[in-house]
Amino acid sequence: MSYRIGLVGKPSVGKSTFFNAATMNDVPEGAYPFTTIDPSVGEAYVRVPCAAPEFDETCTPSVGVCADGTRFVPVQLVDVAGLVPGAHEGRGLGNQFLTDLNETDVLVHVVDFSGTTDIEGEPTEGHDPREDIDFLEEELDAWYLDVLEKGIDKHGTRYHGAEAVIEEDLAEQLSAFGITKDEVKQVILAEGLELDADAWEESDREGLAREIRKRTKPMVVAANKMDTPEAQRNFEEITADPDYDHLTFVPASAHAEKALKNAAETGVVEYTAGEDDFDVRADVSTDQADGLDRIATFLDEYGGTGVQSCLEAAIFDVLGCIAVFPGSANGPKDEKGVFRDCFLLPEDSTTEDFAFHIHSDIGEGLLHGIDCRSDRQVSKSHELSHRDVIELVSTKQAIA
Ligand SMILES: Nc1nc2c(ncn2[C@@H]2O[C@H](COP(=O)(O)OP(=O)(O)OP(=O)(O)O)[C@@H](O)[C@H]2O)c(=O)[nH]1
Ligand SMILES: [Mg+2]
């Protein structure tokens, strides 16, 4: 199971353009709201420096690709329908939208930083992107609050007195968000509340819903349309605004990424996703040359189009995932020494978690691991780091 990143935001901010650029699919893009009705799921990638060259190996990735020493590890990207205020009450494409979000591990909130679309995605000028950032968080919080309150109601009717275990009932109601009863309890206590729903004020319930949302739907803001001067001004202002310190912002131009991928497909340029430059390989018209020049200036200024960086910020910075390579301590002649796989694991994963991630048989028979760089044995409970190369020594083989 690969990680799922949900692209969310109001209509016309560039979600489909971003999706198409990252996955090279052909979802309709358009300057009118609700171009996308059904969520589209595609394969995108996050970059990890390949470990094979350090071991004088060549790699043959079983999934994704490796280009010039950079592994592109697959993740799923979901292009969700545009969200409008009131979605939690069924406005716009309402509840369908929210249901699609349940399936995601992390969100990239695509925001039109140029301010040329209003809160409903209709053309305008001078719109403050802060309104969009606020509304998405509020909309998600309202949705979580609805579910939380249902859980509180059920809890109130189901049990009486000492048997009532609030965190169990809430975790059950919130199960679609992937939160355990221990985590619910942690959040309740961290909010300074008693484990007794009767003692909670409305503002307490709102605070709880917000905290649970933040934990279960961490997000990155893609500051899109940064190829416009208005967006650049807004970006400076908003990233300096302390009210937005809790968010990770990545400047992006989905347009530029899409243009480069298209040009690469037709052989006009040579471009690797995420890079901060490209080579022109064919004769181009004056208009095309101007367009490519503007993109080159953008890449120079921002270190890339930002599309890859958004995905990587979501997986590595916000979710805290690590990438681990299964290796062999026996050197290059061993078949297993070929770097076929690279797995994304949750933060704090141990050798044992890694083994179970690959196969339950390997996990059950696990004796220990070997860190292939140092050739040292590591215990089952050893916490792994990003880009570790680990051989798993197990009494059992995975049955394919
Ligand atoms: N200048 C600029 N325009 C962009 C960029 N990305 C997208 N656009 C334009 O914004 C408009 C909306 O893009 P879409 O990708 O269809 O937006 P969406 O968010 O998927 O919209 P819905 O499906 O309606 O929710 C299109 O006209 C795009 O060409 C960008 O990086 N820069
Ligand atoms: Mg769309």
The Cα 10–Cα 58 span in angstroms is 44
pLDDT at 267 over 80: yes
Which ligand 1 atom is at minimum distance from the Cα of 30? 16
Calculate how far, in angstroms, residue 59's C-alpha sits from the geometric centre of ligand 1.
37
Q: Is 251 near ligand 1, meaning CB less than 6 Å away?
A: no
Ligand 2 (ion): residues with CB under 5 Å are 15-16, 35-36
What is the number of the ligand closest to the CA of 307?
1
Looking at residues 353-377, what average pLDDT do you find?
95
pLDDT at position 276: 97
pLDDT at 88 over 90: no
Which ligand 1 atom is at minimum distance from the Cα of 81? 25
Q: What's the pLDDT band for 332 if we cut at 50, 70, 90?
A: very low
Q: Is 39 near ligand 1, meaning CB less than 6 Å away?
A: no
Pairwise pLDDT comparison (64 vs 297), residue with the higher score: 297
Q: What's the pLDDT band for 161 if we cut at 50, 70, 90?
A: low
Looking at residues 342-352, what average pLDDT do you find?
96
Looking at residues 253-271, what average pLDDT do you find?
95
Average the pLDDT over each of 34-43, 233-242, 341-350 and give the range with the smallest value: 34-43
Q: What is the percent of the chain where pLDDT is above 90?
A: 70
Q: Is 17 near ligand 1, meaning CB less than 6 Å away?
A: yes
Task: Classify 74 as helix, strand or coil.
Answer: strand
Looking at residues 180-198, what average pLDDT do you find?
93
What is the number of the ligand closest to the CA of 306?
1
pLDDT at 331 over 60: no
Q: What's the pLDDT band for 400 if we cut at 50, 70, 90?
A: very low
Triad 19, 20, 22: Cα angle to 5°? 65
pLDDT at position 57: 87
Looking at residues 171-180, what average pLDDT do you find?
90
Ligand 1 mutation pick, 10, 17, 97, 224, max ligand atoms within 8 A of CB: 17
End-to-end CA distance of the chain: 16
Q: Is 82 near ligand 1, meaning CB less than 6 Å away?
A: yes
pLDDT at 337 over 60: no
Q: Whose C-alpha lies nearest to ligand 1, atom 2?
A: 225
Q: Is 15 near ligand 1, meaning CB less than 6 Å away?
A: yes
CA 27 to chain centre: 20
Calculate how far, in angstroms, residue 133's C-alpha sits from the geometric centre of ligand 2.
18
Average the pLDDT over each of 67-81, 255-269, 378-392 and give the range with the smallest value: 67-81
Q: Is 253 near ligand 1, meaning CB less than 6 Å away?
A: yes
Axis-axis angle for helices 254-265, 286-302 (nearest 10) = 130
User: Mind listing the pLDDT tens digit for each residue in 118-139?
Assistant: 998 899 999 999 999 999 999 8
pLDDT at position 112: 98
pLDDT at position 335: 55
pLDDT at 388 over 80: yes
Q: What is the percent of the chain where pLDDT is above 70?
A: 90
pLDDT at 333 over 70: no
Is the CB of residue 182 less than 8 Å from the CB of residue 215?
no
Q: Is 225 near ligand 1, meaning CB less than 6 Å away?
A: yes
The Cα 289–Cα 59 span in angstroms is 36
Calculate how far, in angstroms, residue 81's C-alpha sits from the geometric centre of ligand 2.
6
Q: Whose C-alpha lies nearest to ligand 1, atom 7?
A: 14
Determine how many CB atoms are found less than 10 A away from the CB of residue 267: 9
pLDDT at position 203: 96
Calculate how far, in angstroms, residue 113's C-alpha sits from the geometric centre of ligand 1.
11
Nearest one of 60, 14, 18 to 335, comparing CA atoms: 60
Q: Which two tokens stand for residue 57?
A: 């190996």
What is the number of the ligand closest to the CA of 252?
1
The Cα 279–Cα 284 span in angstroms is 12
Q: Is 342 near ligand 1, meaning CB less than 6 Å away?
A: no
pLDDT at 162 over 60: no
Fill in the amino acid letter for 214. Answer: K
pLDDT at 86 over 90: no
Q: Which two tokens stand for residue 151?
A: 């859980």
Is the CB of residue 332 less than 8 Å from the CB of residue 360?
no
Q: Give the dihedral sign, CA 255/260/265/271.
A: negative
pLDDT at position 60: 87
